[in-house]
Structure 1
Amino acid sequence: MKRLIAAVCAFLLLGAVPARADDGVQTVLDRYLAQAGPGAAVHSGTGTRSTGTAKLREQRAITAADHFRIGSQTKTFTAVVVLQLVDEGRAELDAPVSRYLPGVVTGNYDGDVITVRQLLQHTSGLVRDVRDAKAGPDGTYALAELVRSAMDEPAQNAPGAAQNYSNVGFLVLGLLVERLTGKQAGTAIAERVIAPLGLTETRFPAAGDRALKAPFLNGYLGGRLGQLFFWTEATTAVELSFWSTAGAMESTVDDLQRFYRALLGGRLVSPAALAEMKRTFGSADLYGLALLKMPLSCGVTAWGHNGALTTGHYSLTLATDDGRFAAVVTNTNWQGSGTPSAVDVADRAICSG
Structure 2
Amino acid sequence: MNSPSVPGRCRRRTVTAGAAAAVLALLAVASPAVASAPAPAPPGVQRSLEALVSELGVPGALVTVREPGGRTVSGAAGVGDVATGAPVPLDGEVRAGSNTKTFVAVVVLQLVAEGRVRLNSNIEHYLPGLVRGKGIDGRHITVRQLLQQTSGLPNYSDYLGEDVRHFEPRELLDLALRHPAAFRPGTSWQYSNTNYLLAGLLVERVTGHTLAQELDTRIVQRLGLRHTYFPAPGETALRGPHPHGYYRDAGHLLDVTEFDPSWAWAAGQLVSTNADLDTFFTALLTPGRLLPAAQLAQMQAATATADATFGPGARYGLGLVSRPLSCGGRYWGHGGSFPGYETRGGATEDGRAASVAVTEQVTDSARRQHLDDLVDGALCEAAAAAR
Does the pair score TM above 0.5? yes
Is 1:336 the counterpart of 2:336? The answer is: no
SS of the residue 1:187 aligns to: helix
- State the partner residue of 1:44: 65
SS of the residue 2:347 aligns to: strand
Q: 1:77/1:292 Cα in 2 relative to 1: closer, same or farther (>3 Å)?
A: same
Query: Match of 2:302, as an amino acid?
Result: T
Q: Give the counterpart of 1:318 among 346, 369, 376.
A: 346
Show the 5 A alignment for 1:281-300.
281-284=303-306, 286-300=315-329
> Identity across aligned pairs (percent)?
38
Q: Which runs of 5+ in 2 are unaligned?
A: 67-71, 307-313, 383-387
**What is the alpha-carbon root mean square deviation over aligned residues?**
2.3
Please give the per-residue CA displacement for 1:30-84, whole angstroms capped at 9, x wherever unaligned. Answer: 2233446201111113511111111103444433431111011111111000000
Q: 1:89/1:275 Cα in 2 relative to 1: closer, same or farther (>3 Å)?
A: same
Q: Give the counterpart of 1:260 among 277, 281, 287.
A: 281
- State the partner residue of 1:25: 45
- State the partner residue of 1:56: 82
SS of the residue 1:322 aligns to: coil
1:298, 1:100 → 2: CA distance? 43
Give the conservation status (yes or no) of the 8 Å contact 2:60–2:243.
no
Is 1:94 the counterpart of 2:120? The answer is: yes
Q: Give the counterpart of 1:84 among 100, 110, 117.
A: 110
2:82, 2:144 → 1: CA distance? 43
Count of aligned pairs: 344
SS of the residue 1:44 aligns to: strand
Give the conservation status (yes or no) of the 8 Å contact 1:48–1:63.
no
- State the partner residue of 1:236: 258
1:55, 1:224 → 2: CA distance? 19
Once the 2 structures are TM-superposed, how far is the Cα of residue 141 of structure 1 from its aligned partner?
2.0
Query: Match of 2:344, as an amino acid?
Result: L
Once the 2 structures are TM-superposed, how far is the Cα of residue 24 of structure 1 from its aligned partner?
1.4
Is 1:309 the counterpart of 2:338? The answer is: yes
Query: Match of 1:288, as an amino acid?
Result: G
Q: 1:186/1:166 Cα in 2 relative to 1: closer, same or farther (>3 Å)?
A: same
Please give the per-residue CA displacement for 1:84-130, whole angstroms capped at 9, x wherever unaligned. Answer: 00001111111111111111111221111111011001110111124
Is 1:272 the counterpart of 2:303? The answer is: no
Is 1:105 the counterpart of 2:135? The answer is: no
1:349, 1:59 → 2: CA distance? 27
Query: Match of 1:197, as an amino acid?
Result: L
Once the 2 structures are TM-superposed, how far is the Cα of residue 157 of structure 1 from its aligned partner?
1.7
TM-score, normalisation: structure 1: 0.91
Q: Which runs of 5+ in 1 are unaligned?
A: none
Structure with more of its chain in helix, by fraction? 2
Is 1:184 the counterpart of 2:210? The answer is: yes
- State the partner residue of 1:214: 240
Query: Match of 2:349, as an amino acid?
Result: D
1:258, 1:56 → 2: CA distance? 29
Is 1:327 the counterpart of 2:355? The answer is: yes
Q: 1:320/1:217 Cα in 2 relative to 1: closer, same or farther (>3 Å)?
A: same
Once the 2 structures are TM-superposed, how far is the Cα of residue 351 of structure 1 from its aligned partner?
0.8
Q: Give the counterpart of 1:127 among 151, 154, 161.
A: 154
2:261, 2:168 → 1: CA distance? 11
Please give the per-residue CA displacement for 1:142-196, whole angstroms capped at 9, x wherever unaligned. Answer: 2223213321211122111111111011001111000000011111111111111
Query: Match of 2:234, as an amino acid?
Result: G
Once the 2 structures are TM-superposed, how far is the Cα of residue 203 of structure 1 from its aligned partner?
0.6
